[in-house]
Chains A and B, each alone.
Chain A
Amino acid sequence: MKEISELNLPDDIRYAEDHEWARLEGDRIRVGLDDYAQDQLGDIVFVELPQIGDTFEKGKEFATVESVKAVVECYLPVGGEIIAVNTALEESPELVNKSPYNDGWFVDVNPSDPSEMDDLMTNAECLEKLKGAD
């Protein structure tokens, strides 16, 4: 397991309480699972993603991630319509472990209220929270 100091928490993205991340890319928001979550879950063997066109409110369950050991839900950090899903995860769910912020992304969202991004944590805040919990 990674020490908190070993976690990769980039500063260009925002973090939700349940360890989903969100990154503004033009007018869409890309969403995935952060380094802490993938490390805790261990080898991810399956990711169940929503359909393009589905809409979710902020905080609603939109994906299920299955590791060798556990099954967990993921909650959308910003509400909106799903406009892209990472189909590479169907064949290669391990991308979530290998590259949580790039190749292992989950979905792109067309946000209904982009300001919801502001409610999410910065990497510094996320780190503080993890240190507090440790």
Chain B
Amino acid sequence: MQKETKKTPLYDWHVAHGANMVSFGEYEMPLWYPAGAKKEHLAVLTKAGIFDTSHMALVIVIGPDVFELLQICFTKDLYACVGKDKSPLVPGRCVYGAFLNESGKVIDDAIVYQLEHNTYMTVVNAGLGGEVARHLMAYRDRRNVEITDLTDKIGKMDIQGPMAARILMKVLVDPEEVFEDMLYFTFKGYFDEASPLADKVRLIDGTPLLLSRTGYTGEFGFEIFVDQSHLVKVWEMIFDAGQDFGLLPCGLAVRDSLRASAVLPLSHQDIGPWPFINHPWHFALPFNPNRTDFTKKFIGNEALKNIDKPEYTYAFTGYDLRKVSVYDQPIVLDSEGNKIGLVLTCICDIAIGRHGDRIYSISSPDKPENFEPKGLSCGFVKVKSKLDPGQVVELKDKRRKIKVMIVSDIRPDRTARCPIEEIIEQKEKRL
């Protein structure tokens, strides 16, 4: 019997707007809307897109010993994780890391938000709220911590793209104040009316939000958390406000293509039940400055330091847009044709292209004149030998072999870290 799939509160909206719905984990989610994945991808790079992400799960952790519990369960060193100076996590800041088991393998990746002293929230992937909550529970020991899995209780949507701030300015109460000091990986407000934090960010109809300057596309934007009962209203309000700015609703297809070329991993595809080390996401581990050791002990740290046969995960970029299909278990071949590993992700970013010896994106400020990229394949491989950026390997599936280059970054000129005032100003000029 087929497992019944869950629907987010926006399901009817997606269907009414012609979305191609697919099963993703336990949920029925939009793959793309009638505009199509190409236009949606370009919208996020040049204008803005909104994504229904309410399938993601949220766990609240509260109590006098919560910091200690997160310190041993989460891979980031919460004493030393904010900014270049590595200062401690403070209320209003959030950080990216992972929850590992004793073998150093990934349970899930997550963002941990410090809401207040002794109050944290962690956002994990669809279907993993229960598992992460159980994991925290298992290591709670005698610590005084309360763990609440809010899976399917909170509505979540993301607005991503350079116009995101300008669109939100139309629907927020006092946007100047909300956007003040809103750096990458900071957040304000709360989705529960009962919290004193709720007054920090409200929509013009009074709805309280948690607004977080984060996202999964590599582009400037926000993740928005609201009470589930308000999600459809908030979505429609932002959708309407975005119509003058070229905002498009976006599906899972572009979420995947945008995140991969922004070198962001997909949990249980690029990271998963294997040791969480030797990959492009070293910032998610509590390394010392020379990366010779960790700055704290955490679950899985011994295993990560003592690996018999290391495997290495690398980003790659192809030479044209042709992909290998990850459904066919494609392999990686070295220059002698020996199998050295597996392809984890292979997608096409249709907004980038090669020109001379460089890669440009359609949003590169210095792109060549009349630059019309056809797209490049890109993604991640996991191999048993160490490779260096610039090395060329071949990916092979049942139909073709493609040459790709190992790289340290894929899509250039991403806007995720762009200061908020700068991006608002730039976009005002362009309007």
Query: Residues on A close to B: CB < 8 A?
Result: 1, 39-40, 42-43, 45-46, 48, 64, 66-71, 73, 94, 97
**Number of A-B residue pairs with CB-CB distance less than 8 Å in the complex they form:** 57
- List chain B residues, Cβ under 8 A from A1: 18-21
Given contacts A1-B19, A1-B20, A68-B348, contact A43 B325 (CB under 8 A): no
- List chain A residues, Cβ under 8 A from B347: 68
Binds A, one of B36-44, B79-87, B150-158: B36-44
Q: Name the contact of B321 in the complex, choosing from A40, A42, A46, A64 (C-beta under 8 A).
A: A46
- Please classify how large the interface on chain B is, using the bins under 10, 10 to 19, 20 to 34, 35 or more: 20 to 34
How far, in angstroms, from A128 to B307 measured CA to CA in the complex? 57
Given contacts A1-B20, A68-B350, A69-B31, contact A45 B321 (CB under 8 A): yes
Q: Are B323 and A42 in contact (CB under 8 A)?
A: no
Q: Are B36 and A43 in contact (CB under 8 A)?
A: yes
Shortest Cβ distance from residue A45 to the other chain B in the assembled complex, whole angstroms: 6
Q: Are A68 and B325 in contact (CB under 8 A)?
A: no
B90 beta carbon closer than 8 Å to chain A:
no
- List chain A residues, Cβ under 8 A from B254: 68
Q: Are A45 and B350 in contact (CB under 8 A)?
A: yes
B399 beta carbon closer than 8 Å to chain A:
yes
How far, in angstroms, from A64 to B397 measured CA to CA in the complex? 13
How far, in angstroms, from A46 to B320 measured CA to CA in the complex? 10
Residue of A nearest to B323 (CB): A71
How far, in angstroms, from A40 to B256 measured CA to CA in the complex? 17
Most buried by B among A39, A40, A67, A97: A67
B222 beta carbon closer than 8 Å to chain A:
no
Shortest Cβ distance from residue B376 to the other chain A in the assembled complex, whole angstroms: 11
B257 beta carbon closer than 8 Å to chain A:
yes
Q: Are A68 and B399 in contact (CB under 8 A)?
A: no
Q: Are A71 and B325 in contact (CB under 8 A)?
A: yes
Q: Are A66 and B253 in contact (CB under 8 A)?
A: no
Q: Are A70 and B325 in contact (CB under 8 A)?
A: yes
Residue of B nearest to A73 (CB): B399
How far, in angstroms, from A67 to B348 measured CA to CA in the complex? 9
In the complex, 11 of the A-B residue pairs with CB atoms within 8 angstroms, ordered by the A residue number, are A1-B19, A1-B20, A39-B20, A42-B20, A45-B348, A45-B350, A64-B399, A68-B350, A69-B253, A70-B325, A71-B399
B322 beta carbon closer than 8 Å to chain A:
yes
Residue of B nearest to A72 (CB): B325
How far, in angstroms, from A69 to B377 measured CA to CA in the complex? 11
Q: Are B36 and A42 in contact (CB under 8 A)?
A: yes
Q: Are A42 and B31 in contact (CB under 8 A)?
A: yes
Q: Name the contact of B37 in the complex, choosing from A39, A40, A69 (C-beta under 8 A).
A: A69
How far, in angstroms, from A34 to B401 measured CA to CA in the complex? 28
Q: Name the contact of B348 in the complex, choosing from A39, A64, A66, A94 (C-beta under 8 A).
A: A66
B99 beta carbon closer than 8 Å to chain A:
no
B235 beta carbon closer than 8 Å to chain A:
no
- List chain A residues, Cβ under 8 A from B253: 42, 68-69
B32 beta carbon closer than 8 Å to chain A:
yes
How far, in angstroms, from A99 to B31 measured CA to CA in the complex? 22
B341 beta carbon closer than 8 Å to chain A:
no
Q: Are A42 and B399 in contact (CB under 8 A)?
A: no
- List chain A residues, Cβ under 8 A from B32: 42-43, 68
- Those of B1-40 within 8 Å (CB) of chain A: 18-21, 31-32, 36-39
Shortest Cβ distance from residue B29 to the other chain A in the assembled complex, whole angstroms: 13
- List chain B residues, Cβ under 8 A from A39: 20
Shortest Cβ distance from residue B137 to the other chain A in the assembled complex, whole angstroms: 37
B218 beta carbon closer than 8 Å to chain A:
no
Shortest Cβ distance from residue A44 to the other chain B in the assembled complex, whole angstroms: 9
- List chain B residues, Cβ under 8 A from A67: 37
B242 beta carbon closer than 8 Å to chain A:
no
Residue of A nearest to B399 (CB): A64
Q: Are B37 and A68 in contact (CB under 8 A)?
A: yes
Instruction: Please encode chain B, from 390 to 403, with 1 for each CB lying within 8 Å of some chain A CB and 0 for all others.
Output: 00000001011000
B97 beta carbon closer than 8 Å to chain A:
no
| Interface contacts beyond A1-B21, A43-B37, A71-B325: sample of 20 additional A-B pairs, CB < 8 Å, sorted by A | A1-B20, A39-B20, A40-B20, A42-B32, A42-B253, A43-B36, A43-B38, A45-B321, A45-B350, A48-B322, A64-B400, A66-B322, A67-B37, A68-B37, A68-B38, A68-B254, A68-B350, A71-B324, A71-B397, A71-B399
- Those of B291-333 within 8 Å (CB) of chain A: 321-325
Residue of A nearest to B252 (CB): A69
- List chain A residues, Cβ under 8 A from B256: 69
How far, in angstroms, from A68 to B12 measured CA to CA in the complex? 25
How far, in angstroms, from A32 to B189 measured CA to CA in the complex? 54
How far, in angstroms, from A64 to B400 measured CA to CA in the complex? 10
Most buried by A among B39, B257, B348: B348
B162 beta carbon closer than 8 Å to chain A:
no
